[in-house]
Amino acid sequence: MYRIVASITSLELHAAALASGTDAHRPRNCPHCHSIKLWGHGFYHRKIERIPIAKGSFNPVAIARYLCAACLHTCSRLPLCIAPRRWHNWAVQQFVLLLILTGSSVRHCSNCSGIGARTVRRWRDWLRQRGEFFAFHLRSRFANLGREPDVPALWRRVMRSMGLDVAMAWLDQDLFVP
């Protein structure tokens, strides 16, 4: 199941889609039992950034939930601009990971981005653990990525050409991201 809605690229589009009542967020089927009987089941609110809520801010963001009539599990889908299971958005993660991939230390990345060193280290380890596996799947979809000599070079190219958010949306179609 796609957990990331790639067509909704900003919080403004997300809010407009929720307000208009379109089914852009509705999954085709239940991720648990694959039934197609999904009912709207309200919203949950998700804080997307660790900043105080300002006037006119989208923080916290309403996320639509759906209930499966067959198995009674709930599910939801996130817009492209919100990273699943992460406090920080894809752009911040991409900036930090690009610094790591170009040889910067964890401390330097932490100082440049304002993100804690433990978080930077966790993201670095996440990319090291899953990077090759994700690279295999990306190469199978995008043949031009096969020309890169190693996995770090591939990730630098991915982040320059399509961005981490779009790459994760492609990977989310086949795998469980992050």
Residue ranges per structural domain of the chain: 4-79, 90-172
Q: In this predicted structure, what is the pLDDT of residue 2?
A: 64
* Choice between 55 and 164, residue whose per-residue pLDDT is larger: 164
Q: Which amino acid is at 88?
A: H
Question: The sheet that has 74-76: what strands, in order across it?
Answer: 38-46, 61-68, 74-76
61, 14 in Cβ contact below 8 A?
yes
Q: Read off the pLDDT band of 123 (50, 70, 90).
A: very high
Q: Count each helix (H run) and each strand (E run) in the chain, helices first.
A: 6, 5
More confident residue, 69 or 4: 69
Would the pLDDT of 54 be above 60?
no
Asked whether residue 58 carries a pLDDT value surpassing 70, the answer given is: no
Q: For residue 64, give the 3-state DSSP assignment.
A: strand
Token digits for 170?
């492609």
Tokens 């406090």, residue? 87
Tell me the residue type at 10. S
Q: Per-residue pLDDT tens for 3-28?
A: 788 788 888 888 888 888 777 788 88
pLDDT at 143: 85
* Predicted TM-score (pTM) of this structure: 0.77
- pLDDT at position 22 is 73
pLDDT digits (tens, 9 = 90+) for 70-112: 999 998 888 888 888 777 888 889 999 999 999 999 999 999 9
Is the pLDDT at 64 greater than 70? The verdict is yes
> For residue 68, what pLDDT band results from cuts at 50, 70 and 90?
very high
- Residue 52, pLDDT > 70, answer no
Q: Among all chains, which residue has been given the structure tokens 């950034």? A: 49
| Mean pLDDT taken over the chain | 84
Query: If you average pLDDT over residues 128-140, what whole number do you get?
Result: 89
Using 50, 70 and 90 to split pLDDT, how confident is the model at 55? low
Residue 58: both structure tokens together: 């989208």
What is the C-alpha separation between 54 and 41, in angstroms, rounded? 28
- How many CA atoms lie less than 13 Å away from 37 in the CB half-sphere? 5
